[in-house]
Amino acid sequence: MTSDITRLSASELAAAIAGGTVSSVEATQAHLDRIAHVDGDLNAFLHVSSEEALATAADVDSRRAAGEELGPLAGVPIAVKDVVVTKGLPTTAGSKILEGWIPPYDATLVERIKAAGLPILGKTNMDEFAMGSSTEHSAYGNTKNPWDLERIPGGSGGGSAAAVAAHEAPLAIGTDTGGSIRQPGAVTGTVGVKPTYGGVSRYGLIAMASSLDQAGPVTRTVLDAALLHELIGGHDPHDSTSIAEPLPALAEAARQGATGDLSGLRVGVVKELSGEGYQDGVSARFTESLDTLRSLGAQVVEVSCPHFTYALDAYYLIMPAEASSNLAKFDGMRFGLRIEPADGPVTAERVMAATRGTGFGDEVKRRVILGTYALSAGYYDAYYGSAQKVRTLVQRDFAAAFAQADVLVSPTAPTTAFKFGEKLDDPLAMYLNDVATIPANLAGVPGMSVPNGLSDGLPVGFQILAPAKADDRMYRVGAALEAALEKTWGGPLLAQAPELKTTELTR
Ligand code: GLN
């Protein structure tokens, strides 16, 4: 049974645990064994918290034995992206500057995970401070794509996506500032959701760009994402941007969608998010899935969002501007690394310079410099101010498009997983991975990537966007598409991934 346990979806595993056929300890141990067997190659985890996970699992098992009423995902293990602070567990955000830092508190979403009885397997690898699309900017080495170990798992949350795709964890947490949940989802054949801005608390996320960051679920099924979203989401007084309203009924929407009836639903194809720059196989799978949605009763219309063309440019001013300010706190005085200058006086400024010079990688430095420049006197209006105006225009495009369609759709990423090194020396080529995902962050609307078949043997993603606070709509459409596509594939897309060979984890 143990090898099969890791193949179950989170909702199946939760049912097995609730029904008493599998204990949470068995489920947790099965995933820890899987990590021990395959993560030597994958490097999806920066830290594995076996003892803590097994202790939580044992606690859930005894509470269940005592007849306690437990939540829908109780006992199901989860992995957490290393940009989320976890009390007592190392948290590095993929950076050397935080090496050795142990947070004194839990992020709100971690508190909720713990309260619901989900054992935390460990912390997943990522591009440093969530800047990147490949995990190549992690200070702790790349994560490999389980579909092809020579290829990137997406980024910044490549560790969470690879862990879920490789059956090391049935659930994971990601964060998405410009696409870091959805693009890794697309290239690993997993489901990734960026909730409505304010839908999931940001308290305890190490901030990259506060007006864009959102945490969300990384899973193998749409229903699992909905269940996890319901668990971590909802109002939090610790986050001033948290929406003070209950979440829509997400799992219910996913269950309804899976029945396959989309009659009356208007699906808008965003003209600006297709065509040139999108790989042929990506476009072909996208067009086929539009036919699938039509066959389920949806009406497919074309919509135009003319300012999306400038979204990437606006993002690469707003995001670095906010990041340059958020990252100012890593100064060698408060957290993690502290480097004193090799010679000369030990002044605060020289310690900060030495610490930041050593502790930050090239991509982080590039963005801090860019952001500081964009905010500097004399340039503020020309760069940051103009970018904020573009942001408003993107929001207006969304409003106009959602007047014509209930959901908007596009390919999630323009290409399948590329090889390591292919885009590392060309930041602009790397940035283009997020051309289809960034508009949602600028406008705060929710977005989801669902597995959409293969192109040359590698997964591609289908993106669904909904109006703010209408996350339930995308779960309904995502579940309907997933159910229809899995019928044609004869099961989950991940069943077609190659078997990973066993390499013991020695770290
Ligand atoms: N790849 C994008 C970037 O590098 C998005 C990052 C993210 O969503 N955290 O900024």
Q: Write the secondary structure of 208-242 as one string of H (helix), E (strand) and C (coil).
A: CCCCCCEEEEEECCHHHHHHHHHHHECCCCCCCCC
| CA–centroid distance, residue 127 to ligand 1 (Å) | 9
Q: What angle do CA 318, 471, 117 make, to 5 degrees?
A: 100
Give the per-residue pLDDT at 103.
97
Cα separation, 407 vs 70, whole angstroms: 34
Closest CA to 466 of 446, 486, 482: 446
CATH code for position 491: 3.90.1300.10
Given a cut of 70, the residues of the chain with pLDDT beneath it are 1-3, 504, 506-507
Number of domains in the chain: 1
Q: For the whole prediction, is pTM greater than 0.75?
A: yes
Looking at the domain assignment, is residue 361 inside a domain? no
Q: Hey, what are 390's tokens?
A: 């573009």
Give the per-residue pLDDT at 98.
97
Sign of CA dihedral 18, 232, 193, 226: positive
Determine which residue's CA is closest to atom 10 belonging to ligand 1: 131
Looking at the domain assignment, is residue 371 inside a domain? no
CA distances from 41 to 37, 214, 269, 282, 506 (A): 9, 29, 39, 28, 10
Determine which residue's CA is closest to atom 4 belonging to ligand 1: 132
Looking at the domain assignment, is residue 119 inside a domain? yes
CA distances from 297 to 257, 264, 267, 277, 362 (A): 12, 7, 10, 30, 49
Give the per-residue pLDDT at 344.
93
Give the per-residue pLDDT at 334.
87
Give the per-residue pLDDT at 1.
46
Looking at the domain assignment, is residue 368 inside a domain? no
Could you list the residue range(s) of the whole structural domain that residue 226 is in? 2-60+72-308+392-496
Closest CA to 146 of 450, 495, 497: 497
Sign of CA dihedral 57, 63, 67, 70: negative
Cα separation, 367 vs 326, whole angstroms: 12
Looking at the domain assignment, is residue 185 inside a domain? yes
How do 120-124 and 78-81 pair as beta strands?
parallel
Burial category of 70 from C-beta neighbours within 10 Å (exposed 0-12, middle 13-18, buried 19 and up): middle
Give the per-residue pLDDT at 59.
98
Ligand 1 pocket list (CB less than 6 A): 130-133, 156, 176-180, 208, 319, 434
The residues, ordered by sequence, that sit 6+ positions from 21 with a Cβ below 8 Å of its Cβ are none
Q: Any idea which residues carry the catalytic annotation? A: 81, 156, 180
Residue 266: strand pairing partners = 299
Q: Hey, what are 65's tokens?
A: 């034995």
Give the per-residue pLDDT at 507.
65
Q: Tell me how long the chain is.
A: 507
Residue 179 alpha carbon, nearest atom of ligand 1: 8
Looking at the domain assignment, is residue 102 inside a domain? yes
| CA–centroid distance, residue 264 to ligand 1 (Å) | 35
Looking at the domain assignment, is residue 229 inside a domain? yes
Cα separation, 365 vs 348, whole angstroms: 20
| CA–centroid distance, residue 96 to ligand 1 (Å) | 19
Q: What angle do CA 402, 441, 253 make, to 5 degrees?
A: 55
Looking at the domain assignment, is residue 460 inside a domain? yes
Cα separation, 175 vs 193, whole angstroms: 9
Q: Hey, what are 457's tokens?
A: 């043997």
